[in-house]
């Protein structure tokens, strides 16, 4: 049987679908349309209602394949990998996209190794090569210095993880029709060698920088931890959350999950505000794909200005408080 169809891997948490599930569908829809094949949203997880699954169809899926079991409520690599590999072997999709999240970046290489498929990490661009029908996968590499386009001409499925927030979900279309197929978990696929025994949520009220629309980051120019308060204020004014450069994290002014860059997180918000950050190549690697970049820095030669859509050369301790005041006024108008 020939490999056919585009799959995107949905993610679920406590019965709700994560937004990245819909982002992947908007990517998948384009590819499925170009190839004129079915787009399938694959979900492996704990119980989710039909009503919620319908949302996957409204956002572009032709079919939902749902392997549902209480035992799948939290991610474990081995079991999820067994389940997905099993589905791939029996149904033979041609393309599989997953989110380049911690779990996606763990599951996909585990599966790709087993089924001998090519896998491209953290893609920002996907397209079908018209002549061959191959998937063209574009991703930044070497700290964002280059963009490499990669394909897997002789192996199926073609697998890719996709950078979260690098595409927008399609608008929900209530008229779209599709089918939902629930599949029972085969107990033979359960692997108990890794057990999740606890979880501490530390998103706090700030939330996750990778999911925020606006990220306001501070660097070494912030001088001390206390000064991050004005960034929190600015982030709240703009409806966002606070990130940091590695220097700021190393000085314990911010926590590691807030670190943006090569050895931290890659973010693609609508707006990234860099304050007291020089724009080292490793930092740029984590935020260069933001829609809009704004920088405030006292050094006119700071590299960050080269990637900025709007920059202010000035002392952040003067500019940021004034900006906060001005934005507060704007709100009260």
Partner 1 sequence: MNIVVPIKQVPETSNVKMDPVTGTIIRDGVESIINPLDLYAIETAIQLKETYGGKVTALTMGPPAAEKALREAIAMGCDEGVLVSDRKFSGADTWSTAYVLVHAVKKLDDFDLIIAGERATDGDTGQVGPAMASALDIPLASYISRIDSVRADGMTVERLVEEGYETLEIDLPALLTVVKEISYPRLPTLRGKQKARNTELPVLTAEDLEVEEVYLGLKGSPTRVVKIETPKVTRGGTILKAVDEESMNDAIEELVEFLKTREMI
Stretch that binds ligand FAD, among 44-52, 133-141, 261-269, 321-329 (CB under 6 A): 261-269
Q: For residues 282 and 236, give the distance between their C-alpha atoms in angstroms, rounded to a whole number.
A: 26
Stretch that binds partner 1, among 2-10, 44-52, 57-65, 305-313 (CB under 8 A): 305-313
Residues contacting residue 318 through CB under 8 Å, at least 6 positions apart? none
Considering the rule CB under 8 A, would residue 333 count as an interface residue with partner 1?
Answer: no
The CA R_g of the chain, rounded to the nearest whole Å, is 21
Considering the rule CB under 6 A, would residue 122 count as an interface residue with ligand FAD?
Answer: no
Considering the rule CB under 6 A, would residue 295 count as an interface residue with ligand FAD?
Answer: no
140 binds, among ligand FAD, partner 1, none (CB under 5 to 8 A by kind): partner 1
Residue with tokens 């079915």: 38
302 binds, among partner 1, ligand FAD, none (CB under 5 to 8 A by kind): ligand FAD
CB nearer to ligand FAD: pick between 70 and 226: 226
Q: Token pair for residue 51? A: 């009503």
3-class secondary structure, 5:
coil
Draw the binding track, 279-298, toward partner 1 (x: CB under 8 A; -: no contact). -xxx-----x---xxx----
Contact 108, 161 (CB under 8 A): yes
Considering the rule CB under 8 A, would residue 130 count as an interface residue with partner 1?
Answer: no
User: In whole angstroms, how close is the CB of 263 to partner 1 at the nearest point?
Assistant: 6
Considering the rule CB under 8 A, would residue 191 count as an interface residue with partner 1?
Answer: yes
In angstroms, the first-to-last Cα distance of the chain is 64
CB nearer to partner 1: pick between 42 and 119: 119
Please select the residue that binds ligand FAD; options are 41, 152, 245, 266, rule is CB under 6 A: 245
Please select the residue that binds ligand FAD; options are 5, 164, 261, 269, rule is CB under 6 A: 261
Considering the rule CB under 6 A, would residue 302 count as an interface residue with ligand FAD?
Answer: yes
270 binds, among partner 1, ligand FAD, none (CB under 5 to 8 A by kind): partner 1
CB nearer to ligand FAD: pick between 126 and 209: 209
Considering the rule CB under 8 A, would residue 45 count as an interface residue with partner 1?
Answer: no
Q: Is the dihedral of CA 128, 132, 135, 140 positive or negative?
A: negative
Give, as ranges, the residues between 46 and 85 that touch partner 1 (CB under 8 A). Answer: 74, 77-78, 81
Contact 114, 82 (CB under 8 A): no
Q: For residues 262 and 145, give the distance between their C-alpha atoms in angstroms, rounded to a whole number.
A: 12
Using alpha carbons, list the distances in angstroms from residue 134 to 28, 83, 115, 128, 161: 14, 26, 18, 6, 16
Buried b (16+ CB within 10 A) or exposed e, 207-237: eebbbbebbbbbbbbbeeeebbebbebbbbb
Interface residue list for ligand FAD (CB under 6 A): 219-221, 245-248, 259-264, 276-278, 280, 282-283, 286, 297-299, 302, 315-317
């Amino acid at each position: 049987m020939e490999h056919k169809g585009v799959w995107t891997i949905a993610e679920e948490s406590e019965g709700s679908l994560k937004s990245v599930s819909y982002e992947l569908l908007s990517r998948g829809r384009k590819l499925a349309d170009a190839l004129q094949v079915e787009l399938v949203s694959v979900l492996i997880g704990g119980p989710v209602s039909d009503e919620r699954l319908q949302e996957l169809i409204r956002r572009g899926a032709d079919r939902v394949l749902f392997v549902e079991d209480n035992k799948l409520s939290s991610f474990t690599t081995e079991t999820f990998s067994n389940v997905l590999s099993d589905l791939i072997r029996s149904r033979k999709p041609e393309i599989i996209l997953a989110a380049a999240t911690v779990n996606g970046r763990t599951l996909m290489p585990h599966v790709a190794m087993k089924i001998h498929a090519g896998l491209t990490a953290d893609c920002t661009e996907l397209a079908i090569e018209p002549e061959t029908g191959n998937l063209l996968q574009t991703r930044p590499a070497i700290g964002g210095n280059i963009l490499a386009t990669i394909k897997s001409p002789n192996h199926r499925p073609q697998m890719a993880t996709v950078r979260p927030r690098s595409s927008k979900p399609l608008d929900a279309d209530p008229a779209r029709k599709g089918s939902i197929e629930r599949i029972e978990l085969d107990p033979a696929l359960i692997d108990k060698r890794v057990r999740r025994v606890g979880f501490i949520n530390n998103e706090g009220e700030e939330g996750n920088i990778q999911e925020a629309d606006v990220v306001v980051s501070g660097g070494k120019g912030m001088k001390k931890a206390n000064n991050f308060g004005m960034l929190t204020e600015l982030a709240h004014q703009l409806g966002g959350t606070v990130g940091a450069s590695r220097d700021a994290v190393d000085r314990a002014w911010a926590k590691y999950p807030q670190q943006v860059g090569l050895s931290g997180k890659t973010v693609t918000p609508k707006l990234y505000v860099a304050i007291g950050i020089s724009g080292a190549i490793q930092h740029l690697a984590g935020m260069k794909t933001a829609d809009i970049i704004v920088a405030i820095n006292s050094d006119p030669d700071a590299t960050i200005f080269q990637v900025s859509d709007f920059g202010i050369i000035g002392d952040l301790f003067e500019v940021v408080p004034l900006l906060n005041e001005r934005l507060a006024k704007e709100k009260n108008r």
